């Protein structure tokens, strides 16, 4: 059975606040998990008019494993290929601190302006079980920080929860609209945990 958007858990689901377990070996169950994560991301995206699913952490389909999938070309909605990163860890934060918009498949109807490092070095295991390293910059660095946070039970809203000016929602035509912090954010599911 292939995973769908309905398998993606959202706040206030308690497992999103849990630390994921390290993967020991890349066996068939991990390969199946990766396939399910990719399928769920594509299914979610197919239900959205103005959003692209660029990445997913295993916890988002309620599997507490340190596995992340990233879309190979997040500028092309027709490219449904991903790369898996197993046990990813940021070994160094570099560059400038940049504020930009983030959304999350597990945080319904909220976007936020989040500060992140513009460059990170990442250590991970590939699907063949080989230890690898890479340096990511710009949007890719932001994605790694967002997804690796998930493996540690952290969501993007946790970085901005005390900033009344950081919250937005997606308008029907695709633009972002600033939210009223008191009315729209404080009463939302992000504060249930």
The share of the chain scoring above pLDDT 90, in percent, equals: 83
Q: Which one of 38, 94, 147, 182 is the catalytic residue?
A: 147
In the chain, what are the domain boundaries? 5-100+118-155
pLDDT at position 89: 98
Using 70 as the pLDDT threshold, list the residues of the chain that sit under it.
Answer: 1, 191-193
pLDDT at position 193: 43
147 is catalytic: yes
pTM of the model: 0.95
* Three state DSSP letters for the chain: CCCCHHHCCCCCCHHHHCCCECCCCCCHHHHHHHHHHHHHHHHHHHCCCCCCCCEEEHHHHCCCECEEEEECCCCCCCCCCEEEEEEEEEEEEEEEEEEEEEEECCEEEEEEEEEEEEEEEEEEECCCCCEEEEEEEHHHHHHHHHHHHHHCCCCHHHHHCCCCCCEEEECCCCCEEECCHHHHHCCCHHHCC
User: 5-100+118-155 has which fold?
Assistant: Peptide Deformylase (3.90.45)
pLDDT digits (tens, 9 = 90+) for 132-163: 999 999 999 999 999 999 999 999 999 999 99
- CA-based end-to-end distance of the chain: 31
C-alpha–C-alpha distance, residues 101 and 114, integer Å: 6
């Amino acid at each position: 059975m292939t995973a769908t958007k309905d398998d993606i858990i959202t706040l206030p689901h308690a497992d999103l606040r849990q630390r994921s377990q390290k993967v020991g070996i890349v066996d068939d169950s991990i390969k199946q998990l990766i396939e399910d994560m990719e399928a769920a991301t594509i299914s979610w995206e197919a239900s959205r008019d103005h959003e692209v699913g660029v990445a997913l952490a295993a916890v988002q389909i309620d599997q507490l494993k340190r596995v992340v999938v990233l879309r190979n070309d997040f500028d092309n909605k027709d490219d449904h290929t991903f790369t898996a990163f197993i046990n990813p860890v940021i070994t160094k934060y570099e560059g400038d601190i940049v504020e930009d918009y983030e959304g999350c498949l597990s945080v319904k109807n909220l976007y936020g302006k989040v500060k992140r490092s513009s460059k990170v070095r990442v250590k991970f295991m590939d699907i063949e079980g080989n230890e690898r390293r890479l340096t990511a910059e710009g949007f890719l660095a932001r994605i790694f920080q967002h997804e690796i946070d998930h493996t540690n039970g952290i969501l993007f809203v946790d970085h901005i929860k005390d900033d009344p000016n950081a919250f937005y929602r997606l308008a029907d035509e695709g633009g972002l609209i600033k939210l009223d912090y008191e009315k729209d954010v404080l009463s939302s599911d992000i504060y249930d945990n």
